[in-house]
A and B are shown apart, each in its own frame.
Chain A
Amino acid sequence: MSGPRNAEERLARLLVMLPWLMEVGEVPLADVAARYDLSEAEVQKDLELVAMCGLPPFVDEMIDVFVDDGLVFVGVPRLFTRPLRLTAPEGFSLLASARAAMELPGADPDGPLGRGLLKLARALSDAGLDAADRSVDDTAGVAIDLHRPPATDAIADAAVIGAELAVTYFSPARDTTSQRLIVPRHVFVDAGNWYVVADDDRSGERRTFRIDRIDDLAATGRTDRSDEIIETPGAFFDDEDLPLATLRLAPQAQWILDRYPVRRRTPMTDPAGWVEAELPVASERWLARLLIRLGADAVVVSPADAGAGAAALASAILARY
């Protein structure tokens, strides 16, 4: 639940809540709150308010709704029986989500999702949000490419039943491989990379692993089911405890601002086009690797020894040639 809500947000929520309430007629307050991501007090307050709305000569009679003993009752509907039409961003979001869902492991494009998407596209067209001269589906103009490593499907299957897997994992932060036992809990894709949130036997903690760095995966035969709902971790790679590095970046090096979480960025006037950026550092080795990739397009401000670390690593690579 999110902080204080403004009038627009409260009205928007009421306009989706009322048609549904009119359809169900009578429902526990707690169910309404859970369904619309509000507290029970918020739902009660807004429903009591809207019950007082009305126009002469029907003051107080326009919306017949009341809350009693933890139940919401709705009488004969007069107004707001149908939800407001979809806005363009809502239509797009639905379309993009449905197309993305079709790219996820286990999706069936010929199933109900595909049919629902077709009906949606037609409705958007009817609403004037799309071409009016097309009666057919035109969702082809939006493509979502969530190309996944081959191991993803097996890991997603394991997450469904809580199957334990023995894996070999490569960690670029330490540049080492390790053998571990993991129980996958949730698989997700973010910024083009696939990850698994898993209970990790080695650390005894829940960790996030990149799936393309998992080798040699095998089921151990043990399972550990969990009914816990595990969602995508927010900004999982940006840990508050990580040390920070400050770098000055030429325009050619500024792609890293898109790739990595950046705490602060300041455009520079000298040299023009450069920016100074502060970013969390997973490990010294990770920073050294980044600096070698950027070469002369990045200048280290801090930590002072990062440049020497990059030089040593560059020499080590060169020694292989």
Chain B
Amino acid sequence: MAERRVDRVERLTNLLALLLETSQPLTMIEVCGELAGQYPDEERNRRAAFERDKAALRDLGVPIETESNLGQGTPATYRIDRRAYELSDLDLDADERRALQVAVAAVRTDASAGRNAIWKLGGSTAGEVGPVSAVLPDRPELPIIRAAVANRSTITFVYRDEQRLVDPWGLLLRGGFWYVVGHDHGRDAKRTFRIDRFGGSSDDIEVGPVGAFERPESFDPREAFPTDPKQIGHAVGDGLMAVVRIDDERAPAVEREVGSDRVIDRHADGSIDVQVAASNIDAFRSWVIGLLDHAVVISPPQVRSAIMDWLAAVSARSAS
């Protein structure tokens, strides 16, 4: 039979309908027989086209079940369980659906997954833009790790060229980056990993069996590490503190940033002295130099001289 020119959307729709409607699993030959004229006649081309369609449907999330008895020499059969295919009823009230669609409209990511989800729930994000929004970075690893957190499955991934085995306790978005916090088996300690620094692709993350660990009670990812990078590597309040004088121009903003409880002195000219963590000297230096000549390190002497040496080196290096 001559091949009819069929739009691929039509062929995909028919394949989907057939596998949903069939009362018993079908072989590829049976599928092509039902969809007469839509798949190529030549066997290799037909197989390739069928495999491509099957992969396309699976990519959309269609749960195609395969039964194969390779040893028996019988061909594989396919069907779709309608209950698995269909969205379960979320039983959302109108205001709840509306709230979710406003939430999705207010959050921009690089992916369209959120908008698709709202469409599936019967809503639409069109025209929902409000006066406040957030931009969230999107990472392909996130759904995998999120499922592992919920299922309490141990995950294996590459980080800093090293294989890590981690019980993921939670995910945290902070400062524009996604982190996974959990128990690192190799270190036998709690560790935090930035997800965009995972080695390899999301397919390289291995997920272990369900229920492999218990998350510590009252664990909150937000408390897993300090918000202030100047404190990373030390417990809060336990570490090197430095006193920095901030001039009148930047004083209000810095006071807001570090908190009024960190202001230890206020001067007549409007400048203030603030006490800030300097345990992480790289983060401290970056912060204090970022304030340019609006900030001067007063004490302790070793921090003050470290900053002065750094400035002198930049001044000398570029001048030469």
Contact = CB atoms under 8 A, between A and B. Distances in A.
Interface string B79-108: 000001111101111011111101110111
Given A83-B87, A113-B99, A145-B222, A53 B317 contact: no
B315 A314 contact: yes
Interface string B229-265: 0000000000000000000011011001100000000
Interface string A130-143: 11111000101111
Contacts of B65: none
Contact of B304 (A14, A212, A293, A321): A321
Given A252-B282, A289-B290, A212 B253 contact: yes
A229 B126 CA distance: 11
Contact of A186 (B86, B88, B117, B133): B133
Interface in B264-320: 282, 285-286, 289-290, 292-293, 296-297, 304, 308, 310-319
Interface in A19-60: 19-20, 23, 34-37, 46, 49-50, 52-56
Contacts of B118: 94
Interface in B112-142: 113-122, 124, 126-127, 129, 131-138, 140, 142
Contacts of B18: 55
Contact of A291 (B84, B109, B115, B314): B314
Given A94-B117, A316-B293, A321-B304, A85 B227 contact: no
B20 A86 contact: no
A98 B56 contact: no
Nearest to B220: A143
Contacts of A170: 249-250, 253
Contacts of B169: 141
Contacts of B115: 37
B176 interface: yes
B21 A79 contact: yes
A82 B109 CA distance: 27
* Chain B contact residues: helix, strand, loop or mixed: helix
A123 B96 CA distance: 14
A11 interface: yes
B173 interface: yes
Max chain A C-beta neighbours (<10 A), residue from B93, B96, B297: B96
Contacts of A88: 143-144, 146-147
Nearest to B148: A141
B292 A185 contact: no
B178 to A, nearest CB: 9
Contact of A317 (B103, B135, B293): B293
A84 B61 contact: yes
A76 interface: no
A131 B210 contact: yes
B167 to A, nearest CB: 12
B132 A142 contact: no
Given A86-B61, A104-B134, A141-B221, A79 B152 contact: no
A232 interface: yes
A100 B126 contact: no
A98 B103 contact: yes
A49 B119 contact: no
B100 A116 contact: yes
A104 B60 contact: no
Taking residues whose C-beta sits less than 8 angstroms from the other chain, chain B's interface range is 35 or more
A212 to B, nearest CB: 7
B162 to A, nearest CB: 16
Nearest to A193: B176
A202 to B, nearest CB: 18
A141 B135 contact: no
A272 interface: no
A224 to B, nearest CB: 14
Contacts of A125: 150
Contact of A289 (B9, B117, B292, B296): B292
Contacts of B133: 104, 186-189, 231-232
Given A97-B104, A175-B292, A123 B90 contact: yes
Nearest to A103: B134
Given A232-B135, A293-B286, A311-B317, A142 B253 contact: no
A212 B134 contact: no
A16 interface: yes
B170 A7 contact: no
Contacts of A311: 314-319
A92 interface: yes
B149 A35 contact: no
Interface stretch (A65-73, A146-154, A275-283): A146-154
A88 B117 CA distance: 10
A8 B221 contact: no
5 closest pairs, A vs B, by CB? A191-B176, A116-B96, A101-B103, A192-B175, A307-B318
5 contacts: A93-B117, A141-B168, A145-B222, A159-B131, A319-B293
